[in-house]
Structure 1
Amino acid sequence: MRGAVRGAVRGAVLTAPGALYVRPAVAADLPRLAALRAEAAAWIALEHGSAQWSSPYDPQRGLALIARGATVVAALAPRGEAVATVTLRPTGSPRLWSGDELAFPARYLSSFTVDRRYAGQGIGARLGDWAAWRAARAGAGLVRVNVWSDNAALHAYYRARGWRWVRTVAGSRSGALFERATVAVALPPRVREADGLRV
């Protein structure tokens, strides 16, 4: 069974070309966003024993975030299939972040997902760098994320990419808090933006 699940989750490994094209998500992307989340949840459960994203994808919440311009998708061609997604918002949860922290200009990432077929090719790192760059353009000094508290591998991933662990909020299943400074420099290499981004 484990091998069958592994094959279903991983599938064929594909090679990503040079550029990553970031565009606003639209309502038609909802099935793809749900599929990316389900695939990631199955892989996380199998490889890391975490229940992260085990609850069903909420299409109404997804539509609301899309309508606000908070969710973007990344593709390997200007009008290609989404291979990654992230949501970037100007406010964080008061259940996780203190009043002083929320008063500091920041952007908050969530639903950060990469197609498992492209794992290990730097797509997540590039999209994370883009999010930090975009946050800086909006006047934010930090970009923040709260991740599943029991997913130690994900914590290590963020630390390895320059994110600082802030704390883990007791009693919250996604209460491991990380942040990194934004950098007001040129658009990260090999990332192209579409028109209409509002994050």
Structure 2
Amino acid sequence: MIEWDISQPIRIRPGEPADARAVLGMLDGAVVWMNARGNTEQWGTTPFSTTPSLVERVDRYLTENTAFVAEAGGTPVGAMVLDTGPNPQMPIGPAGEPERYVRLLVSDRRHAGRGVGAALLARAAEETRRAGVGLLRVDCWAGGGGELVAYYERQGFTRTEPFRSGTWPGQILARHLTDAPGSPAQPG
């Protein structure tokens, strides 16, 4: 087991195709962690690394999108993928204005509670501002008592609209970045 010294700072770097194995490992670990808590609905019960379509998706994320990897002491502990909009296969409409969209956010569950996800979301906001865009959105699973929705709200996002993908309950959240050119004057 890889240990992470919490005194080591989190460093965020661009993701690359060579990170696929680490990202798949984090996703597999998240499935095991969720299943152990009784959550088999969010990401199912099958490891990402054993599902060819999910392996291909992670590969595409790391080659076609803007990906970032969080490291502590040179060890990947989180990953995030940004795009210019939601996955077109999801029942989510366009924002009606330029946006950046968090397509994936995952952290190594062995390091939960150490701010990895928050650091990656801060980087997403920074990248969104750098692009001159004032809106950052994300969607997430809304089941399980809404714990994941509440996490994003603690990170500065606001609920916009709920949606369903089959029986999967989802929630879209938005964060308006008021210091980006052309953004509305809303809390960010």
TM band (smaller chain): 0.7 to 0.9
Q: 1 or 2, which has the higher strand percentage?
A: 2
TM-score with structure 1 length normalisation? Answer: 0.75
TM-score with structure 2 length normalisation? Answer: 0.79
Amino acid at match of 2:110: R
Structure 1 gaps, min length 5: 1-10, 186-199
1:31-50 to 2 correspondences below 5 Å: 31-47=21-37, 49-50=39-40
Q: Say whether residues 1:67 and 2:57 are aligned partners.
A: no
Cα distance per residue 1:101-137 (max 9 Å; x no partner): 1x31111102201111211111211111111111111
Q: Report SS of the residue matched to 1:17.
A: coil
Structure 1 contact 65–71 (Cα < 8 Å) conserved = yes
Higher relative contact order (CA 8 A, sep 6+): 1
Amino acid at match of 1:160: R
Q: Distance in 1 between matches of 2:33 and 2:160?
A: 26
The change in CA–CA distance for 1:75 and 1:13 in structure 2 (over 3 A counts) is closer
Greater mean alpha carbon deviation, residues 111-120 or residues 47-56: 47-56
2:6 alignment counterpart:
16
The change in CA–CA distance for 1:13 and 1:47 in structure 2 (over 3 A counts) is farther
1:187-198 to 2 correspondences below 5 Å: none
Please, which of 115, 118, 123 is the counterpart of residue 125 of structure 1?
A: 118
Structure 2 contact 20–62 (Cα < 8 Å) conserved = no
Please, which of 159, 164, 168 is the counterpart of residue 165 of structure 1?
A: 159
Q: Number of residues paired by the alignment?
A: 171
Q: Report SS of the residue matched to 1:121.
A: coil
Output the aligned Cα RMSD.
2.4
Please, which of 169, 176, 179 is the counterpart of residue 174 of structure 2?
A: 179
Structure 2 gaps, min length 5: 49-53, 181-188
Cα distance per residue 1:18-50 (max 9 Å; x no partner): 522222222222111111001112212322624
